[in-house]
A and B are shown apart, each in its own frame.
Chain A
Amino acid sequence: HLAPMPDQYSRGVDWLSRYGYLPPPDPRTGQLQSKEGIEKAIKEMQRFAGLKDTGKLDSDTLKLMNTPRCSLPDIIGSKDLLKKRRRKRR
């Protein structure tokens, strides 16, 4: 069906997690991302992309989030590298 307008905010948070700007949600604690944490992540994403770091999901930011891109995260932690090795070995 014609879906209602997707929740851009939650999609934005998902995007930020996927590409390394926010820690992935922890299923054990169900801890939510804090507003400040999300704003900080958005700013980091904006600076990385060369956008004005407003900390808000403005139209330029949303547009970039919709731009085709590489699957790999922009911010890579040691966990990402370990995860890849373990996954294939299993």
Chain B
Amino acid sequence: YATVGLRWKKSELTWSIQNYPSLHPFLKPDYVHYIMTHALKAWSDVTNLNFQAASSSEQNRADIMISFARSLHDDGYPFDGKGGTLAHAFFPGDYEVAGDTHFDDEESWTYKDDSGTDLFAVAVHEFGHALGLSHSSTSPSIMRPYYQGAVGDDIEAYILPDDDRHAIQSLYGIKISTPTTSPNKPTSQLPKPPNPPHPKVPSQPDPSIQNRCEGGFDAVANIRGEIFFFKGPYFWRIQRSRSLVSLQPALIKNFWMGLPPGTDKIDAVYERKSDSRIIFFIGSQYWVFKDTAAMSGYPRPLSDWGLISHDGKEAKSVEAAFVWAHNGKTYIFSGGEFWRFSEAEKRHQDAGYPRFSSLWKGVPSNPDDIITGEEGDAYFFKNNSYWVVKSGELDQDSVTRKSTAVDWMECPEPTPTTLPGNPRGRGGDCNCGISG
């Protein structure tokens, strides 16, 4: 652990909440008060510190003033929107902002809900700073600088890791008295979680509820080395480093300008190599984008592409589209068939197409979408899985199915569930995973 050499010279500290999170609809003031009370209690449980909620007349004179702020908020530590920096607190001292603790109001603060950032875990960390602790490199420690997720469902039973207990006791000593461990005296006044404990409003889904770990992406595209996963009206963006720009999806309409209002499903997307234009297929139409704006003259009908199937019918929509880096050709998949195009100068369909998608051995014949990397491998996506076809090989001996959620979406490895013996007496165990 590390301390900064500053500590409060008193053991009775007051705290107040200046305002409440405005973004998340479920964290009501009662909840925030409950969370902060118990986050402070984690520190007073092991020291002789006592935390007292400031009276209404002393709200603006409390030692630890808690607030939710956005962007620049006049303390030299601007926030940066969702993700990135989450919160900060000022070390103890006799200066005006000492002890003050600020949370980024643009985070999706949550409690007992994995869809956002756990306010309790971050509050315990920040109060550590407000009491004089610096960041720790030890694991486990609540003072590690990186967000580590929620610390458990029962915040009333939360106990600091040993590293943090030693740290705070090096500043304020070991707790001597036994009975009172409360930030609000007496103990019986400790707030209980407001009821209902975790209200949800299904009719107004929060964007963060779009679960990237469930898979089922409508379209996937490699655009200038970054991978875009489209699902419903949202998309996720993965940088070249393979890191998600954010765990939370962004609204397609806020980034890709020019698609019709109400667009809630993209069929396929690819980047045209000849001029870096980006092609969106939606139903029986397609759009060509220059950067993030649709070009004039679009949408155009899908019939421009001449996607006539073996039985003479015209494709009504596109399932997958990609440029195979292996040969630079553009491939369009629809209805179990695929067409190949040359787009080096003007687009023209190669002779001998369509062909049946089943020519691509070991991969789904109706993929959600396909991309290629610079090395020429083709990645077929379907539901929550993907398959890699090595460059130039249509009929590999075996193509391994992999998890999109784990490998692309930074989701945890599903825990295999071992079931009891086969009821029909064959004696084997089954292993089931969410991706399998």
A residues in contact (CB < 8 Å) with B: 1-2, 4-6, 8, 19, 47-50, 59, 62-64, 66-74, 76, 81, 83-85, 87-89
Contacts and interface: CB of A to CB of B under 8 A. Distances in A.
The main secondary structure of chain B at its interface with chain A is loop
Contacts of B6: 81
Contact of A2 (B122, B240, B291): B291
A84 B225 contact: no
Contacts, number: 103
B74 to A, nearest CB: 9
B88 A71 contact: yes
B224 interface: yes
Contact of A62 (B139, B146, B226, B241): B241
Contact of A76 (B93, B125, B134): B134
B146 A49 contact: yes
B73 to A, nearest CB: 11
Interface stretch (B11-19, B79-87, B170-178, B383-391): B79-87
B84 to A, nearest CB: 6
A70 B126 contact: yes
B76 interface: yes
A48 B95 contact: no
A1 B225 CA distance: 16
Nearest to B5: A81
Interface residues of B, number: 47
Contacts of B145: 19, 69-70, 72, 74
Given A68-B146, A69-B85, A81-B6, A88 B224 contact: no
A69 B85 CA distance: 5
Nearest to B3: A76
A68 B117 CA distance: 9
Given A2-B292, A49-B137, A69 B96 contact: no
A11 B129 CA distance: 26
Contacts of B360: none
B131 to A, nearest CB: 13
B243 interface: yes
Given A2-B292, A69-B86, A70-B135, A81 B4 contact: yes
A73 B125 CA distance: 14
B417 interface: no
B75 A88 contact: yes
